[in-house]
Chains A and B, each alone.
Chain A
Amino acid sequence: MSPLLEVRGLRVNFLTDRGIARAVDGVSFSIESGRTLGVVGESGCGKSVTSRAILRLVDPPGWIESGEILFAGRERREDLVKLPANGRRMRAIRGGEIAMIFQEPMTALNPVFTIGDQTVEALRLHRSMPAAEARERAVAAFASVGIPAPEQRFREYPHQLSGGMRQRAMIAMAMICNPQLLIADEPTTALDVTIQAQVLDLMNEMRQQFDGSILFITHDLGVIAGMADDVIVMYRGKVVESAPVRDLFRQPRHPYTRGLLRSAPSLVKGNREKLEAIEGTVPQPTEHIRGCAFAPRCAHVMPRCRETVPALAGGEQHRAACFLHHDETEEMYDAV
């Protein structure tokens, strides 16, 4: 069975004052139906741009340079890159088959409409149905995401709701058309930790209910550990490691992934050792780097890291883009 979403060699560029920035530089991954893929990485590593590219929301000065985004929609499997960005099919996919939840529930809701209005709007964009029925469905959706007194909340404005409630409303809006794929761009970053856990539980629950997949973007490794089935780690527009979530946390391969894990606080060790930070900073996206982009910050850097870009390699499930884990055959493959 082909995966629900398969991204192959996606490149997204932005034109800036300092030249062309390669925000997404040859990213490939796939999401199976019913699974959650976590995307981790620092700010500016291209994870948000990737998610927007899937919905074809990359606006000038940015553009999709090359690559394929194969989505197994309700009717057929198609390459989203080849569709017109604002055409009928793409608009039907947005919200209807692939929905998105944004980072800030404060600003992703229009302050001048009630949340009920906005939920009905999401429904009316994709399904033609009588107003009364749409309203009923929206109230039911509110109830299903655990909004207490949904009838009353329906008539309230975004500013009358707490952050957690707003994010619940956003989830209800995203789920109301039963999408197959939900893209969540740091959905809990702006929330309190306790609310975070509730919202994450809710998302897991919803995924089981609607039997779809989630593309979960975050920089929080703890959240990834709890949510994702598979993880890709991104650094400077490239996937540096891709693994099932257990393998990634037990045996991280890429030095960048290890660095990320070490720089997260842990209680397991029982002591309060100093957190390790990864040396250096992320190079400017417009800078051209020869070889591995992480080489300037890497503790295990080898001469050839500065010459050639390591490919993502190493087995069926757990792969890393690092020469430390390349065996001879792969090396030869790279040289070609």
Chain B
Amino acid sequence: MRKFFRDFSRDPVALVFGLILLGIYIVAITAQWIAPGDPFETNLRNGMQPPSWEHWFGTDQFGRDVLSRVILATQVTARLTTLAILFAVVLGVPIGMMVGYHGGLADAIVMRITDIMLIFPMIMLAIVIVVIAGPSERGVIIALGLSQLPEMIRISRGVTLSLKEELYVEAAVAAGARWPWILRRHVWPNISTPIIVQATLTLPVFVLNASALSYLGLGVQPPTPEWGQMLNEAKDFLINAPYLIIGPSVALFLFVLSANLVGDALQETLNPRTKSRRITRRFYRVSRKSALS
């Protein structure tokens, strides 16, 4: 663990953006207390004000303080994406471990289903699910979670398959252990690392897609603030009040960039095979993901 922190902090980029990511989560948790104003309080006479000392990011068409709304949106986004990742992990890892361990027909069926799910672009899959589940926060969580489910199943299944051949697993069976015990004791500890890495790498994608869905009106519904949805509202006033897009864009940009860089650094630290620091690949990954939405 100490070695992990040393490796991690040796990479200044990862360290800086790790702290930024940490800061974003602190903002998310304490949103209610640190917001300078009420994010829901309308004041039509003060609508669409440019940035000032009173309103750092200006006010929107209803006179609501954009900074306060951005801060509350941080909380909404952090909650959404975390729950979506939990959803994928809690559902996907047990399925992956079970089909990997038992094999046979169930394995074949589950893997073909994940193959089918992987064919569709994530955002398209998410849109379909949101349309079925209804546009709401819960719909976004289910949509994002399900879209990441195949990946979680594949990772945990792969690790389980290789561990099944280990002699200590056979020894545990010979000592009278049942399969749930073996999965919990001998397989899960080996799966947690790749799952953590995958979850961190998924985070920025989820953030972008949650915003994209909300931008399209399929996600978080007003008046609850969400970056994508705020951008959607701001785009109508792009000529008269271009400053309205600054707040949500900067927040979105920072969150996605830092989550990406931290995810990559985690992968490189936790996975001994990719120890080399490849800055170019990082930027490639960031730009590719951004292009997705």
Whether A associates with B in a native complex is yes
> Which residues of A are in contact with B by a Cβ distance under 8 Å?
55, 57, 86, 91-96, 99-100, 102, 104, 107-110, 112-113, 121-122, 125-126, 173-174
A94 touches B189 (CB 8 A): no
A55 touches B174 (CB 8 A): yes
B168 touches A110 (CB 8 A): yes
Interface residues in B237-272 (C-beta closer than 8 Å to A): none
Q: B54 — which chain A residues lie within 8 A by C-beta?
A: none
Contact residue among A92, A107, A109 (Cβ-Cβ distance under 8 Å from B176) = A92
B175 touches A95 (CB 8 A): yes
Can you offer 11 A-B residue contacts whose CB atoms are under 8 A?
A: A55-B174, A91-B176, A94-B174, A95-B174, A95-B176, A95-B177, A99-B174, A102-B167, A110-B185, A112-B190, A122-B175
A57 touches B177 (CB 8 A): no
Q: A173 — which chain B residues lie within 8 A by C-beta?
A: 175
B176 touches A57 (CB 8 A): no
A17 to B170, CA, bound (A): 24
A126 — nearest CB in chain B belongs to which residue?
Answer: B176
Would you give the shortest CB distance from B160 to chain A, in whole angstroms? 15
Using C-beta atoms within 8 Å of the partner chain, give the interface range for chain B: 10 to 19
Known contacts A91-B176, A122-B175; decide if A107 and B167 are in contact (CB<8 Å): yes
Contact residue among A91, A92, A108, A112 (Cβ-Cβ distance under 8 Å from B171) = A108
A47 to B62, CA, bound (A): 82
B168 touches A107 (CB 8 A): yes
Contact with A along B151-183 (1 / 0, CB 8 A): 000000000000000111011111111110100
> Which residues of B are in contact with A by a Cβ distance under 8 Å?
166-168, 170-179, 181, 185-186, 189-190
A-B Cβ contacts below 8 A, count: 59
B186 — nearest CB in chain A belongs to which residue?
Answer: A110
B174 touches A91 (CB 8 A): no
Q: B166 — which chain A residues lie within 8 A by C-beta?
A: 107, 110
Q: B181 — which chain A residues lie within 8 A by C-beta?
A: 125
B185 touches A109 (CB 8 A): no
A104 to B171, CA, bound (A): 11
Q: A174 — which chain B residues lie within 8 A by C-beta?
A: 175
Q: Which of B174, B178, B179 has the most CB of A within 10 A?
A: B174
Would you give the shortest CB distance from B195 to chain A, in whole angstroms? 16
Q: B173 — which chain A residues lie within 8 A by C-beta?
A: 57, 94
A121 to B172, CA, bound (A): 9
Known contacts A102-B167, A108-B168; decide if A86 and B178 are in contact (CB<8 Å): yes
Would you give the shortest CB distance from B87 to chain A, in whole angstroms? 27
Q: A86-B179, A102-B170, A173-B175 are in contact. List 9 more A-B contacts (CB 8 A).
A: A57-B170, A102-B167, A102-B171, A108-B170, A110-B172, A121-B175, A122-B175, A125-B181, A174-B175
A93 touches B174 (CB 8 A): no
Q: A91 — which chain B residues lie within 8 A by C-beta?
A: 176-178
B176 touches A96 (CB 8 A): yes
A95 to B175, CA, bound (A): 4
Would you give the shortest CB distance from A264 to chain B, in whole angstroms? 28
A76 to B175, CA, bound (A): 21
A55 to B168, CA, bound (A): 16
A91 — nearest CB in chain B belongs to which residue?
Answer: B176
A109 to B166, CA, bound (A): 9
A102 to B175, CA, bound (A): 11
Would you give the shortest CB distance from B133 to chain A, in whole angstroms? 39
Q: A126 — which chain B residues lie within 8 A by C-beta?
A: 176
Q: A102 — which chain B residues lie within 8 A by C-beta?
A: 167, 170-171, 174
Q: B179 — which chain A residues lie within 8 A by C-beta?
A: 86
A176 to B181, CA, bound (A): 19
B189 — nearest CB in chain A belongs to which residue?
Answer: A112
Known contacts A107-B168, A110-B168; decide if A57 and B175 are in contact (CB<8 Å): no
Would you give the shortest CB distance from B193 to chain A, in whole angstroms? 11
A109 to B185, CA, bound (A): 12
A57 touches B190 (CB 8 A): no
A103 — nearest CB in chain B belongs to which residue?
Answer: B167
A142 to B37, CA, bound (A): 66
Q: A95 — which chain B residues lie within 8 A by C-beta?
A: 174-177
Q: A121 — which chain B residues lie within 8 A by C-beta?
A: 172, 175, 177, 185
Would you give the shortest CB distance from A13 to chain B, in whole angstroms? 19
Would you give the shortest CB distance from B208 to chain A, in whole angstroms? 36
Q: B175 — which chain A residues lie within 8 A by C-beta?
A: 94-95, 99-100, 121-122, 125, 173-174
Q: A104 — which chain B residues lie within 8 A by C-beta?
A: 167
